[in-house]
Copies of this chain bind each other. A is one copy, B any other.
């Protein structure tokens, strides 16, 4: 991203009066303990510097590596200590070992920073009482000085548009999904997977042990953050149960709030305890909490991804269970029908008018003008015509599998790989436009299935991005789309007495 584009996207980010707001707008970032040869894109030390530079933060504000053994790292001036930095530093990322943390804490207080994120681990989560005490002491010293703490034992912040990230390959443009996660790895998985499907994020927070700022603080912030339209959270242990409940309740009343609780089984709870020192809860208690607050309970990480796609596309308007399924071949239609039925969705037969219109240009052999429809989608024009007729039927949604293979070669024309690639990418964009146009025109939510085997990963990704950008939900399988729809409908039914948020 260029400096200009970055400045523009900065302006576009609304700022609230919430006390946590400044944390997301640091006027200078120091990375303390960054290795002199930063490598990799993950969390291990150098990844933070690389990821923040990839986001372009250093092009607009001060980015300061701190390492007494280097004078320059990745082209940036390197400082021996935090207090040596001339310019303002609002946010500190601590990559130092736990034993060095007390020194860093004093420097942070002296420098007058606003927030410290401890990637540093080895505190209360180890179960060692001495390290737990050290965690409490460092938090007290910092918060007494008005400095907020994120972590320890976490990945910290991803704020696209501002230029802050904790892993490589994250999109630079901001979006409307907030993610709050105790686990950094899970936060990374959500960002990578949902971005590939087209979603973009307002703020992502991995807060680990939650020694100061915790889930309820960020949930509270989400209520006032205009940039955030849908909130997702991965929770291991609920700290301050009452505050958590109240924050979820207030948030879920105004914005779709999706919660995934890890450690609901015995084995999961044991793993959670050794991961973030969290204590177990039960499925029943967590489920009751979601019902009472109006939050959506995701049962798996896949559920969290899939419901987020539904909640941030035209699919959020789906009102009933009647599906029109188009394309994919006979055997696919049979298994898909089974998958829809298992989620309580229906495939009502096509009205005569729909069948008549489709029969006008669809050969009978090997195709079907009933629901599931197996129509001739061999050209963009035929596809548009068929889908438009189908959507005129009494359906609450249309699930269709686009093909991008159709337009890359005409007759016996010989095309080179680059031409084929360009044409397939064009076809993917065209298909996305077509779905969006039909969804807009008919008011019926469209769900696109990404199952064209002839398409490369690049073409499939292009389609997902272009479709999502235009408000069309894309799913890898009918079963997953069906589960998302059925979950969304059930969640809406449960929210009696609450305002409609989608």
Where the two chains meet, the residues of A that have a C-beta atom closer than 8 Å to any C-beta of B are: 37, 39-42, 44, 97-98, 120-122, 126, 153, 169, 181-189, 192, 234, 236, 262-268, 270-272, 274-276, 300-302, 328-342, 346-347, 349, 364-366, 368, 370, 372, 378, 405, 409, 411-412, 453-454, 457, 477, 479
Contacts and interface: CB of A to CB of B under 8 A. Distances in A.
A271 B185 contact: no
Contacts of A186: 329, 331-332, 335
Given A98-B365, A153-B366, A268 B42 contact: no
Given A335-B300, A364-B122, A329 B405 contact: no
A6 to B, nearest CB: 25
B42 A405 contact: yes
Stoichiometry, as copies per complex, reads: 2
B409 A337 contact: no
17 contacts: A37-B412, A39-B409, A41-B405, A42-B454, A121-B366, A122-B364, A183-B329, A183-B330, A186-B329, A186-B331, A188-B453, A236-B334, A263-B334, A264-B338, A271-B334, A271-B372, A300-B335
Contacts of A270: 337, 347, 349
A477 B476 CA distance: 15
Contact of A265 (B301, B332, B338, B479): B338
Contacts of A265: 337-338, 341-342
B366 A331 contact: no
A265 B478 CA distance: 15
A454 to B, nearest CB: 7
Nearest to A36: B412
Contacts of A234: 331
Nearest to A190: B331
